[in-house]
Amino acid sequence: MSAQIINGKEIVSAYRADIKQQVEQLKQQGVQPGLAVVIVGDDPASHVYVRNKAKACEEAGMHSEVYKLPENTPEADVLALISKLNGDEAIHGILVQSPLPGHISEERVVEAIAIEKDVDCFHPVNVGNLMIGKEGPAPCTPAGVIEILKKVGVEIAGKHAVVIGRSNIVGKPMAILLLRENATVTVCHSRTKNMEQITRQADILIAAVGKAKMINRSHIKPGAVVVDVGINRLDTGKLAGDVDFDDVLETASYVTPVPGCVGPMTITILLRNTLEAAQRAAS
């Protein structure tokens, strides 16, 4: 068997074209969706992500504002900026890029964002709503993974999905979203014993560990769908996922490439969340 490589570019461009059309419709009603992105400090990778988010926004016809603050910005200044953006009618989504410098509390910053503008779905109220299946934003990366599976035609209901990783941004919400799609879900993490035994039971395997090429053919069952959320920089400067892509090709039925699939889909869901926040504000 040879795995089908999921064509992220095709999925993303169709999805973004649809978003662009809905943005156009909303603009005709006098509302242009707007996203504010706040970045504190000089982390080069974060600056690249922020640039990509702002560019994607503009390409979709949305308004975007990027606030680049120096590393030594006091927490109070970040909170004051968020408060200003909360009250700004041109802004429907606010995203504060993490990680933040050590002297700033991520918790206080996230909790300062107005619930209806929390397009990351990091605010505890939105996380709670996600848990109980109430309407609201969905966390961008896990929601993007679900969309990829659906677009490819992978049936989720009744399947055993194994998530490797338990972060608040990916692993935990991923498990909840899979559960909402009626999968049977197992979460593995750094303290899991005999991980291979568990991952080999997965019909759908989601790798969100943050360790380059950690998942290989010994972790997967023949025919499994493998989704790679990891994005790791190798010593050579090249990017690699958590999955040893070449090694699993003969065993998996589908596999996502890194880069070029989950990353761009994450940004696409950010656009969707911003559009939906604007639609809710306009209604």
CB of 117 vs ligand GUN, minimal distance in Å: 13
- The Cα 95–Cα 73 span in angstroms is 17
Residues that bind ligand GUN (rule: CB under 6 A) add up to a total of 8
Please check if 190 is assigned to a binding site. Answer: no
Q: Which stretch binds ligand GUN (CB under 6 A): 76-84, 89-97, 175-183, 199-207?
A: 89-97
Query: Which CB atom, from 26 or from 143, has the smaller least distance to ligand GUN?
Result: 143
Alpha helices in the chain (DSSP H): 8-28, 44-59, 75-86, 106-112, 124-132, 140-152, 171-180, 195-199, 245-248, 262-282
Asked if residue 51 belongs to a known ligand binding site, the reply is: no
CB contact set of 11 (below 8 Å; sequence gap of 6+): 147, 148, 151, 152, 261, 265
Distance (Å, whole) CA 272 – CA 57: 10
* Shortest separation between residue 217's beta carbon and ligand GUN, angstroms: 28
Collapse the DSSP code of 4 into the 3-class scheme (helix H, G, I; strand E, B; otherwise coil) and give the result: strand
Binding to ligand GUN (CB under 6 A): which residues in 165-194? 169
The SS3 of residue 124 is helix
Between 47 and 217, CB nearer to ligand GUN: 47
Binds ligand GUN (CB under 6 A): choice among 39, 57, 120, 251 = 120
> Would you count residue 96 as binding ligand GUN (CB under 6 A)?
yes
3-class state of residue 240 by DSSP: strand
Q: How far is the CB of 87 from ligand GUN (least distance, A)?
A: 20
User: What is the number of residues in the chain?
Assistant: 283
Contact pick of 40, 78, 140, 176 for ligand GUN (by CB under 6 A): 140
The yes or no reply on residue 118 touching ligand GUN (CB under 6 A) is no
Q: Is 231 annotated as a binding residue?
A: yes
In the bound complex, which residue of the shown chain has the CB atom lying closest to ligand GUN? 98
CB of 120 to ligand GUN, least distance (A): 5
Outline where 105-189 has alpha helix (H).
106-112, 124-132, 140-152, 171-180
Binding residues for ligand GUN restricted to 40-59, rule: CB under 6 A: none
Nearest residue to 229 via CA among 151, 143, 158:
143
Query: Can residue 97 be called a binding residue for ligand GUN (CB under 6 A)?
Result: yes
Q: Given candidates 36, 69, 94, 95, which one binds ligand GUN under the rule CB under 6 A?
A: 95
Catalytic residues: 53, 97, 120
Tell me the torsion sign for CA atoms 216, 221, 226, 230.
negative
Q: Can you tell me whether residue 114 is helix, strand or coil?
A: coil
Q: Which residues are annotated as a binding site?
A: 165-167, 231
User: Where is the binding site for NADP(+), in residues?
Assistant: 165-167, 231
Give the footprint of ligand GUN on this chain (CB under 6 A): 95-98, 120, 140-141, 169
